[in-house]
Amino acid sequence: TGCRMAACLCQGWQLSLLPAILLSLCNPPSAPEPVTSQDAALLAGVSEDILCFSRSFEDLTCFWDEEETTTGMCHFYYWDVPRMCTVSTWHCGAGRRRHVCVFPSQDVRLFTELHLRVLNATTNHTKYGRELSVDAVGLIAPPANITARWAGAAGQLCVSWQPPLADFLNFFLYEVQCCPTSSAGTPCSPTLNPSGQHPGDPSIQSSVSTHTPRAGAASPGVGQRLVQANTWVVLQDLQPGVRYHIQVRSKPDGTSMDGVWGPWSQAVAAETPRSSGDIGLCCSTPDLRHVRCEWSWDPAEPHSSHQLFYRPPPSGPGTR
């Protein structure tokens, strides 16, 4: 009886699994879009009919957008030796569609000029054309492992990160954005136009430097922004006791590689130390050997942790 019951159970499992298997075969998971709306927005300032980008300089994706009402089939060719690319079509907003070519990896070569042509399949006439090199169309991910810590002086934070591509360590510029957090705790995200500038905000300036730059004073709701080639920076003139959101993005430096600014990183939060006056710091010594310090804290944050920073006096003759 036990064997018969086991056989029935096994048959039941097989029958119940069969519809699931058939369903998975009939409904394969949809492929991710090769060009996201964020990609298209970052390339909006490029004045070309065919837009192209490379995320790692070992890949290449090109696309063009058309109205849904556009008729006729097109073929996409590229060469130093002519080849036809398999084009996929995606909807990209009301009444528009996007045609995308993802290049085979064996056809992606640096420092080689590519000729691109979109031809009308009926007339064989060129509809769009472009010449480019893969090393000139970088659209790079944000840096990795972004950290922020106290820099050892009032109103300063040291921010560091790792380059986004391990094979191209010294070929990037980085833009750092530092904003006080709002009362809702959301990251500060100033509006950028396609050129990467803040329209109508003369208080924010960008500079290119290979040294540690000094950021301008921050005020609530206004972000500090600076551009540099180092993988670390000391942000100065920050307000004490303020929580900041810090974001970094990458761009090829325009010398060996080129491209556009990539997306901003996820925000990293860091708080600047409060001044001794703000926290009512009071220190005393009972024996000239030990120092006891007390301070107050915000009762709205009963579970917060605190660190006291101090710098010992310089030692030398006559110093006790």
* 3-state SS, one letter per residue, for 190-209: CCCCCCCCCCCCCCCCCCCC
CATH superfamily label, 140-192+203-271: Immunoglobulins (2.60.40.10)
**Mean local confidence (pLDDT), 265-288:** 88
Whether the per-residue pLDDT at 12 is higher than 50: the answer is: no
Of all helices (H) and strands (E), which one includes residue 293?
Answer: strand 292-294
Residue 144 has pLDDT above 80, yes or no: yes
- Same CATH topology for 37-138 and 140-192+203-271: the answer is yes
* Distance in angstroms (rounded) separating the CA atoms of residues 145 and 164: 9
pLDDT at 189 over 90: no
Summarize pLDDT for 50-86 with one digit per residue, the tens: 999 999 999 999 999 999 888 778 889 998 778 999 9
Q: Are the C-beta atoms of 227 and 174 separated by less than 8 Å?
A: yes
Spatial separation of the C-alpha atoms in residues 216 and 114, rounded to whole Å: 43
pLDDT at site 152: 83
Whole-number Å distance between alpha carbons of 110 and 67: 33
Task: Count CB neighbours of 241 within 10 A.
Answer: 13
Residue 206 has pLDDT above 50, yes or no: no
In angstroms, rounded to a whole number, what is the distance separating the alpha carbons of residues 24 and 40? 32
For residue 201, pLDDT over 60 is answered with: no
Domain ranges of the chain: 37-138, 140-192+203-271
Average pLDDT on 107-114 reads 94
Half-sphere exposure of residue 54, counting CA atoms within 13 Å on the CB side?
24
Q: What is the pLDDT of residue 233?
A: 93
Separation CA 256–CA 234 (nearest Å) = 27
Residue whose tokens read 């058309």:
66
Query: Residue 208 has which token pair?
Result: 């290119």
Position 202 pLDDT exceeds 90: no
Asked if residue 142 has pLDDT above 80, the reply is yes
The position carrying tokens 């000729």 is: 115
CA distances from 286 to 19, 35, 158, 292 (A): 81, 68, 36, 8
Q: What is the pTM of this model?
A: 0.71
Lookup: tokens for 202: 């003369």
pLDDT at 93 (0 to 100): 82
The average confidence (pLDDT) of the chain is: 78
Write out the CATH class of domain 37-138: mainly beta
